[in-house]
């Protein structure tokens, strides 16, 4: 029995050696029939492969670390439409190619909510990519030729779900606006996009000053779009023990 886990691994099973050894002990003690042994061993291997596949696709999506949804404090924001968010977890919007806008001030959990929707999509077998808007545009602008830019655009145009985080935090030039417009146009009514921002649609032109395509960009993105407004104090201030309003807000006068 000592060598059987190594033999199974050599044959291509991906389950950890310790897990295989523990299963063999269980099968022996339980006196499993050969058919039961094969069935349970196949189930063990399937769980391992599914877990590895999920981990690989999650890494490829570049979600980064985030708080799982079961740790999200829904009572902390002053305003949030939880019912709509819960409906979106069914991922019907992905099947229809509809978009989501998560809007609110910094630190209220917009990115966390977007990342959890992205993880749910990965778990359901969808292709996903997550990026800050600034990082994506920098990636595209680094390309040295039009063909190279077109090839790199596919990285963001093809996933079933694209999450662009933090629109409005850094100003962008007109070339960046053109790239974002091209991307949203390619995905329009075919693939879903989530954008997090601190700005209403009418202020997006402040992010891309002088860009002529902003109105058309907003028009396409907003045509089939769920808007969830999140209002409240910053989670980061809460975690740091800083009173709402800044470090001086809670000081007493002497």
Domain count, the chain: 2
H helix intervals, 146-213:
146-157, 174-187
Range of the domain at 41: 4-60
pLDDT confidence band for 147 (50 / 70 / 90): very high
pLDDT confidence band for 234 (50 / 70 / 90): confident
- Whether 133 and 231 map to the same domain: the answer is yes
- Whether 52 and 111 map to the same domain: the answer is no
Lowest mean pLDDT among 24-33, 109-118, 235-244: 235-244
The first and second tokens of residue 86, run together, are: 């819960």
Euclidean distance between CA atoms 136 and 180, whole angstroms: 9
How far CA 102 is from CA of 105, 129, 199, in Å, comes to 10, 17, 10
- Whether 146 and 175 map to the same domain: the answer is yes
Residue holding tokens 């709509």? 84
pLDDT confidence band for 242 (50 / 70 / 90): low
- Return the CATH number at 138: 3.40.50.300
The first and second tokens of residue 139, run together, are: 């990636």
Which of 118, 73, 52 is CA-nearest to residue 91?
118
* pLDDT 10s digits, 102-122: 999 999 999 999 999 999 999
Bridge partners of 197, per DSSP, are: 103, 167
* pLDDT 10s digits, 60-99: 899 999 999 999 999 999 999 999 999 999 999 999 999 9
- Whether 109 and 25 map to the same domain: the answer is no
Is 245 a domain residue? Answer: no
Bridge partners of 193, per DSSP, are: 162
21 CB contacts (<8 Å, ≥6 apart)? 1, 5
Is 251 a domain residue? Answer: no
């Amino acid at each position: 029995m000592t060598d059987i886990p190594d033999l199974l691994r050599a044959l291509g099973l991906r389950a950890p050696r310790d897990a295989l050894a523990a299963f063999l002990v269980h099968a022996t003690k339980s006196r499993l029939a050969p058919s039961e042994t094969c069935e349970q061993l196949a189930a063990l291997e399937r769980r391992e492969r599914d877990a590895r596949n999920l981990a690989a696709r999650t890494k490829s999506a570049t979600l980064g670390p985030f708080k799982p949804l079961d740790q999200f404090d829904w009572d902390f924001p002053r305003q949030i439409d939880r019912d709509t968010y819960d409906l979106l977890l069914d991922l019907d919007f992905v099947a229809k190619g509809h978009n989501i806008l998560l809007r609110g001030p910094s630190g209220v959990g917009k990115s966390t909510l977007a990342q959890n929707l992205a993880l749910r999509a990965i778990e359901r077998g969808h292709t996903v990519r997550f990026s800050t808007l600034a990082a994506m545009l920098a990636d595209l602008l680094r390309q040295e030729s039009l063909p190279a830019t077109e090839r790199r655009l596919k990285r963001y145009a093809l996933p079933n779900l694209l999450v662009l985080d933090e629109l409005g935090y850094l100003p962008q030039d007109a070339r960046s606006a053109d790239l974002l417009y091209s991307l949203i146009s390619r995905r329009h009514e075919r693939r879903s996009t989530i954008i997090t921002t601190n700005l209403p649609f009418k202020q997006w032109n402040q992010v891309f000053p002088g860009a002529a395509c902003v109105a058309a960009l907003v028009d396409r993105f907003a045509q089939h779009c769920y808007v969830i407004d999140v209002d409240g104090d910053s989670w980061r201030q809460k975690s740091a023990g800083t009173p709402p309003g800044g470090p001086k807000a809670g000081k007493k006068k002497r």
